[in-house]
């Protein structure tokens, strides 16, 4: 698949992990500290990598990072000097505790965080509850509302549908990476037994049942859009993309010849893809992915919703399709359970047609 990649303005670093906000504007990236690296740290951008903060947290070997949908709540876990760091104000102030997790994830609002162990926090990492299903996890993922959790580790897949209170494993093999959609229904677990034996296990019912599909390579990192329509797999020298839940894969045209790709992420709509290479740069690829405009009628209102886009779409209304489109000035609210923008309009306004408009594309709903 032809991708146009842009290197971000930040300097070269020994990158290991990254997180992306729902609209793709917020990026949080952490480095490793192998072999006495002196330029390691944690870096933050609020404009898709055009400008980066200075090294906001140094002196740590960062293992995993997470970010709320709006980018206001940030989390990072590392080995030294303290384990877990949290910010609830966009990185202005950080708090820490001594817990050191291999992997972390958070809900879309950022209030619930989960760490390998498993450990659950419902107050942005201030206090933690450790459950009894102690397993070693290679990856952990959370649904948008934090209710459904997916982990892989010790060769197995574990799922929870009650925010980590109880966990279930149905002997589906799990490997090093996993992904989950915003509603928690679609799950992806990537498994590898050897360099020649690997597969994708996927579920469309929150882990109740699973099917297996072949994959072209062993993926070291994966990412998925909020609706599951874009699934990404990364390996050391390249990447793949699937737009049909992993049934078929197309190579990603990566931005540079590299043998050290380590992390990949994407916006909620999958239109903005971010990839990082070890001892290299972070690259961003942007494409317009038209969101479907969903229209629902209630007794007194018209409910309009669409997946949070990474491009600047505007909601328009028209009465009879024979005049100018008017911009709907109502500010959308973000539904944190499915990462949809929502606008509620009273019935009675003489507008029968609606569309989402972008500079290069229009989508109309009736």
Our CA dihedral for 64, 93, 282, 236, rounded to 10 degrees, sits at -10
- For 255, residues 6+ apart whose C-beta sits below 8 A from its C-beta are 3, 5, 6, 7, 275, 283, 285
Structural domains of the chain sorted by starting position, each given as residue range(s) with its CATH number in brackets: 5-286 (2.130.10.10), 294-365 (2.60.40)
Q: Looking at residue 365, what is its pLDDT?
A: 43
DSSP code for 35 = G
Torsion angles phi and psi, residue 227, rounded to 5: -95, -5
pLDDT digits 0-9 by tens, 83-112: 899 999 999 999 988 788 889 999 999 999
Higher pLDDT, 106 or 36: 106
Q: Where are the alpha helices (DSSP H) in 69-228?
A: none
Q: Looking at residue 91, what is its pLDDT?
A: 92
pLDDT digits 0-9 by tens, 62-75: 899 999 999 999 99
Sort residue 71 into left (φ over 0), alpha (ψ -120 to 50) or beta.
Answer: left
156 strand-pairing partners: 153
CA 237 to chain centre: 22
For the residues 274-280, what does the mean pLDDT come to?
89
Q: Looking at residue 245, what is its pLDDT?
A: 95
Q: Looking at residue 362, what is its pLDDT?
A: 45
Our CA dihedral for 164, 86, 116, 23, rounded to 10 degrees, sits at 70
Cα(251)–Cα(238) distance, rounded to whole angstroms?
Answer: 8
DSSP string, 135-164: ---SEEEE-TTSS-EEEEETTEEEEESSTT
- As a whole-number percent, the residues of the chain with pLDDT over 70 amount to 90
For the residues 152-161, what does the mean pLDDT come to?
88
Q: Please name the helix (run of DSSP H) or strand (run of DSSP E) that holds residue 244, with its range, or none.
A: none
**pTM of the shown model:** 0.91
pLDDT digits 0-9 by tens, 221-273: 999 999 999 999 999 999 999 999 999 999 998 887 777 899 999 999 999 99
pLDDT digits 0-9 by tens, 173-201: 877 799 999 999 999 999 887 777 889 99
pLDDT digits 0-9 by tens, 196-222: 788 999 999 999 999 999 999 989 899
Cα(257)–Cα(227) distance, rounded to whole angstroms?
Answer: 31
Mean pLDDT of the chain: 87
Q: Looking at residue 330, what is its pLDDT?
A: 93
Q: Looking at residue 34, what is its pLDDT?
A: 61
Taking a C-beta distance cutoff of 8 angstroms, is the pair 60, 42 a contact? yes
pLDDT at 36 over 60: no
């Amino acid at each position: 698949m032809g991708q146009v990649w842009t290197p971000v303005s930040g300097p070269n670093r020994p990158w290991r992990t990254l997180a992306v906000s729902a609209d793709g504007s917020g990026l949080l990236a952490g480095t490793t500290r192998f072999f006495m690296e002196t330029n390691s740290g944690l870096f933050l951008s609020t404009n898709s990598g055009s400008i980066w903060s200075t090294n906001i947290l140094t002196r740590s070997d960062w293992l995993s990072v997470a970010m709320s949908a709006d980018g206001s709540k940030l989390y990072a876990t590392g080995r030294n000097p303290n384990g877990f760091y949290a910010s609830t104000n966009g990185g202005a102030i950080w708090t820490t505790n001594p817990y050191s997790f291999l992997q972390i994830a958070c809900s879309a609002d950022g209030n619930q965080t989960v760490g390998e162990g498993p450990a659950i926090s419902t107050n942005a990492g201030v206090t933690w509850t450790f459950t009894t299903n102690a397993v070693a996890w290679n990856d952990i993922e959370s649904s948008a509302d934090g209710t459904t959790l997916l982990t892989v580790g010790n060769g197995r897949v574990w799922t929870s549908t009650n925010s980590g209170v109880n966990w279930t494993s149905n002997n589906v093999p799990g490997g090093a990476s996993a992904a989950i959609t915003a509603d928690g229904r679609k799950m992806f677990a990537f498994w590898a037994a050897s360099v020649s034996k690997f597969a994708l296990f996927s579920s469309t019912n929150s882990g109740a049942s699973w099917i297996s599909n072949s994959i072209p390579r062993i993926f070291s990192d994966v990412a998925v859009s909020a609706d599951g329509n874009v699934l990404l797999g990364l390996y050391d020298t390249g990447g793949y993309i699937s737009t049909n839940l992993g049934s078929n894969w197309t190579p990603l045209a990566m931005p540079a010849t590299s043998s050290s790709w380590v992390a990949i992420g994407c916006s909620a709509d999958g239109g903005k893809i971010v990839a990082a290479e070890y001892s290299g740069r972070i690259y961003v690829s942007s494409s317009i992915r038209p969101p479907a405009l969903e229209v629902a009628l209630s007794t007194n209102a018209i409910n309009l919703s669409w997946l949070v886009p990474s491009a600047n779409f505007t909601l328009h209304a028209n009465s009879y399709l024979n005049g100018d489109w008017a911009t709907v000035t109502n500010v959308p609210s973000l539904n944190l359970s499915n990462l949809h923008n929502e606008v509620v309009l009273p019935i009675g306004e003489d507008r029968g047609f609606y569309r989402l408009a972008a500079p290069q594309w229009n989508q109309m709903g009736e």
